[in-house]
Structure 1
Amino acid sequence: MTNHKNEMSFGLFFLNSKSPFKSEDEELRNGLEQIKVADELGFHSAWMAEHNARDYGVVTSSTVYLAAAAAQTKRIKLGSAVARLPLHHPMQLAEEMTLVDVISNGRLYVGVGKGYDKLEFDAYNVDFDERHARFEESLDILKAALTNPRISYSGQFFNFSDIPINPRPIQQPGPPLFVMVSQNDASIINAAKDGYSFVLGGIKNDDTLHKISLYRETALAAGYSEDYVNDAMARSGKLLFVYVAETDEQAYEEFKEGLMWYMSERDNRPVFGVVQRDKVLDYNEFLKSENAIVGSPDKVRRDIEKFQKETGLNNIICWMNIGGQPNDRVIKSMNLFSKEVMPYFCNVETYQKI
């Protein structure tokens, strides 16, 4: 085993798809069960997406699902991945987030994004072309509301004066904010300038290394202390497809059906660097992707070692339950990962304090 000199942390991602393999209520309950098991197994974090009007994601409010997860867990960090700011009133979202922070006793991570799916905006009658401006204004309000007991604001979309924000969060000055980083460098530069942590999507290892180096350089130049930057980066991570079974062949076979169904549903944008728009995913090529870590415990350990060496990033957010994977298989994968992979990279009791 390693000496844990550069300890890693491992989280889980939950999209909760309404796949052909199970009902949506079964999928939602399975997700909560998996989060409860993850807490018991020592996973560091659980991240919950929100979507509307789409079968590939049926959690329409990340805060509602976060609150349910908070009530049944004790240690695991709980994050939104992401709350789509243009589709929320920022004051209400702030109040819901602070409430979740209280319910979880200070375990909330607040991940935010613009949203990318025009259908979701149309369903809520929000102008898709306004999403950037709404995101920027809402993020300013959200940050202020998470860290101040009263706020005032005057902008294009929102105007209010001296409004109290209740309840106050357990974490002070407020829960950490995360932004989702896209392939262009502007998003990581903006995150660094604002002092936010980040979650990376489907980019290659060399670009991951480039972006985290750019983040550190930009954040320090912006005046943040070395300790602040180290803490923000320790919380930051990358989303990867991860699945573990007793053998490589078993893992490949078990992971395939749910993944391929999900990819067939995700035709509105390129997906995590493993398939391009209007092209059919080749599963064997997917397994070779740097964003896929699928196999036996031994192979998964080797792949993680390679990822850490090539990127310098110590936090992986594992997407095990993609596309309505059977609940028993996901929990088996989580158990194998916890018992036969994580101990090589971290002391669970230590990294759960990050």
Structure 2
Amino acid sequence: MAVLGKDMTFGLFFLNSVAPWKTDAEELRNGLDQIKLADELGFHSAWIAEHNARAYGVVSSTSVYLSAAAAMTKNIKLGSAVSRLPLHHPLQLAEDMALVDIISDGRLYLGVGKGYDKLEFDAYNIDFDERHEKYLESLDILTTALQNGRVNYSGKFYDIKDIPVYPRPVQNPRPPIFVMVSGNDASMVNAAKQGHSFVLGGIKNDDTKHKISLYREQAIASGLTHEYVEEAVARSGKLLFCFVAETTEQAQEDYRQGLEWYMSERDNRPTFGVISRERDIDYDSFLKSENTLVGSPEKVIKDIERYKEETGLNNIILWMNIGGQQHDKVVKSMKLFSEHVMPYFESKTLSAVEK
């Protein structure tokens, strides 16, 4: 059996989908209740997605929702997954996220991305084709604003002359920034050169291992210390589908309705390499994917062991509440995971150290 090296950490991902059986308010309140429970159960992090003009994701501002979560929790890390940089002014986003860091007393994880859905850009009259260039400028400004507190910047989209940024975040020198990576190697290389952590999705385990090796190589070549690079990797993780019930059959049945509704709504890109671009879903094939952890606690433990051995990552972000899952079933899944899966990996790590 592979030695884990450190305790595995488990986070939760929230897209906040409004399925036909839920209202907007019900789903958003359910999400906050689940984050509060996750804090009490010992989950490491909670990650909030940001979308607009789509029923499958109704949180249009991660900073607003994260502030509410911060006020309700004590220990759990709170992450944006992601704040879409081309849709925000970078100075205002820096100010808003610094507020979240203060309200949470230094628990903010800032995930950033460029956005992928043209409809969301069109809704705000923002040029979709300029998103890559705008993202790069925004990330530079955001990083400087959070770390240095004063910004001078001249670019294609932004001209900022010696502007102070308040309030200052609690974390020093700034909250960790995470780049979401699901496609080619370029995003991983850029994250490594900038010293940002990463969250992976949509790729297989062998590609995950490749990208982590590439990240270490590029980060060291960029002049970052080995210690810094390992800390950045240790914070990083992968996003996986997950649901737990007493039996594997029950977990698969409980997860199905929300997943299939979500996939019928989400017609603009495939998810995690297991759903086709035509939106067709073979549920049996989905359940066999290495990006899927759906089953009894015993099955999920075995699947996580395989993930750990094949990727070398210690962190997983679990997508339990997909497609507006029934709140009571999500709560049950969270409790089963915390009672049976988490302790297994904690005891394995302890045993490895003792030996």
SS of equivalent to 1:341: helix
Question: Which position in structure 2 is the counterpart of 1:62?
Answer: 62
Q: Distance in 2 between matches of 1:4 and 1:327?
A: 33
Equivalent residues of 1:246, 1:297 under 8 A apart: yes
Question: Which position in structure 1 is the counterpart of 2:38?
Answer: 38
Within a 5 Å distance, the mapping from 1:1-354 to structure 2 comes to 5-346=5-346
Q: Is 153-162 or 164-173 further displaced after alignment?
A: 153-162
| Deviation sequence 1:224-262 (CA, Å, 0-9, x none) | 111101110011000000100000000000000000100
Shift of the 68–279 alpha-carbon distance from structure 1 to 2, 3 Å rule, reads closer
Q: Distance in 2 between matches of 1:275 and 1:257?
A: 15
Q: Distance in 2 between matches of 1:14 and 1:244?
A: 16
Equivalent residues of 1:48, 1:81 under 8 A apart: yes
> 1:21: how far off?
1.8
Unmatched tracts of structure 2, length 5 or more: 351-355
Q: Distance in 2 between matches of 1:275 and 1:231?
A: 33
Equivalent residues of 1:44, 1:76 under 8 A apart: yes
| Deviation sequence 1:304-337 (CA, Å, 0-9, x none) | 0000001111100000000000111001100000
SS of equivalent to 1:345: helix
SS of equivalent to 2:160: strand
Letter matched to residue 172 of structure 2:
Q
| Deviation sequence 1:259-295 (CA, Å, 0-9, x none) | 0100111111111110121151000000000110000
Equivalent residues of 2:181, 2:198 under 8 A apart: yes
Shift of the 262–37 alpha-carbon distance from structure 1 to 2, 3 Å rule, reads same
> 1:183: how far off?
1.8
Equivalent residues of 1:4, 1:344 under 8 A apart: no
Q: Distance in 1 between matches of 2:278 and 2:337?
A: 34
Letter matched to residue 339 of structure 1:
E
Letter matched to residue 334 of structure 1:
M
Q: Distance in 2 between matches of 1:182 and 1:31?
A: 25
Q: Is 16-25 or 28-37 further displaced after alignment?
A: 16-25
> 1:5: how far off?
3.2
> 1:346: how far off?
3.0
Equivalent residues of 2:244, 2:251 under 8 A apart: yes
Q: Distance in 2 between matches of 1:21 and 1:298?
A: 31
SS of equivalent to 1:233: helix
Q: Distance in 2 between matches of 1:299 and 1:162?
A: 56
Shift of the 24–108 alpha-carbon distance from structure 1 to 2, 3 Å rule, reads same
Q: Distance in 1 between matches of 2:275 and 2:120?
A: 22
Q: Distance in 2 between matches of 1:72 and 1:185?
A: 38
SS of equivalent to 1:17: coil
Q: Distance in 2 between matches of 1:171 and 1:304?
A: 31
Equivalenced residues, count? 348
Letter matched to residue 128 of structure 2:
F
SS of equivalent to 1:105: coil
Letter matched to residue 11 of structure 1:
G
SS of equivalent to 2:346: coil
> 1:108: how far off?
0.2
> 1:182: how far off?
2.2
Q: Distance in 1 between matches of 2:275 and 2:43?
A: 29
Equivalent residues of 1:4, 1:346 under 8 A apart: no
| Deviation sequence 1:59-96 (CA, Å, 0-9, x none) | 01000000000000000000000000000000000000
Q: Distance in 1 between matches of 2:297 and 2:200?
A: 24
Equivalent residues of 2:264, 2:279 under 8 A apart: no
Q: Distance in 1 between matches of 2:62 and 2:146?
A: 17
Q: Distance in 2 between matches of 1:346 and 1:183?
A: 32
Letter matched to residue 18 of structure 1:
V
Q: Distance in 2 between matches of 1:21 and 1:208?
A: 36
> 1:6: how far off?
3.3
| Deviation sequence 1:87-125 (CA, Å, 0-9, x none) | 000000000000100000000000000000000000000
State the TM-score, normalized to the length of structure 1: 0.96
Unmatched tracts of structure 1, length 5 or more: none
| Deviation sequence 1:176-198 (CA, Å, 0-9, x none) | 00001122111111111110000
Q: Distance in 2 between matches of 1:196 and 1:344?
A: 30
Q: Distance in 2 between matches of 1:293 and 1:239?
A: 11
Q: Distance in 2 between matches of 1:22 and 1:332?
A: 19
Q: Distance in 2 between matches of 1:233 and 1:132?
A: 24
Q: Distance in 2 between matches of 1:160 and 1:256?
A: 49
> 1:3: how far off?
7.8
Equivalent residues of 1:274, 1:289 under 8 A apart: yes
> 1:7: how far off?
2.0
Equivalent residues of 1:241, 1:294 under 8 A apart: yes
Task: Give percent identity, aligned residues only.
Answer: 70
Calculate the aligned-residue CA RMSD, in Å.
1.4
